[in-house]
Amino acid sequence: MTSLFSKFFKKSNTPISSETPILKESYNVMKNIKLETAQKYSDTAKFKLMQDAVYEDLTDEEDTKYRMTVSYELESEDDQYPLEDILDKFLIHVSDFFESENKPNSNSYKGELAGELNDLLKAQVIIGKKVYNQDFLDDDKMVRLD
């Protein structure tokens, strides 16, 4: 799990020199984002369908006990920013990577996202869309991602 997890999360902030900054037009594109139904959700003693492919984990007592599974493709393996920023924006986290279904040397991934019910429902706005980041200069002249 460590190698797959570390593959999802790479981040760096590069200071800009006195030369003209070079900003990437875009980073890795996350595309073909789909909702999936994990096999484990069929265990009704452990999972309950709430709405729109979001399940309640009946074994979890936290507020973030809700789960949804998504699959997606990356156009390249250079950067994994879209996923990390999606997690931050919607206050959700990855709770399962479905390692057996995520094949090595593939740009297709399947994972379970977890969080509060409303946060997962809001995150569904990305389903069927392409998600990517762009560089911008902050007030301190650092290249940041948006």
Q: How far apart are CA 26 and CA 135, in angstroms?
A: 7
Please, which pLDDT band fits residue 61 given cuts at 50, 70 and 90?
very high
- The residues pairing with 110 across neighbouring beta strands, listed in sequence order, are 71
Q: What are phi and psi of 46, to 5 degrees?
A: -115, -25
Please, which pLDDT band fits residue 123 given cuts at 50, 70 and 90?
very high
pLDDT tens-digit readout, 64-120 = 999 999 999 888 765 566 888 899 999 999 999 887 777 777 888 899 999 999 999
Please, which pLDDT band fits residue 144 given cuts at 50, 70 and 90?
low
Q: Return the closest-CA partner of residue 115 out of 45, 56, 50, 59.
A: 56
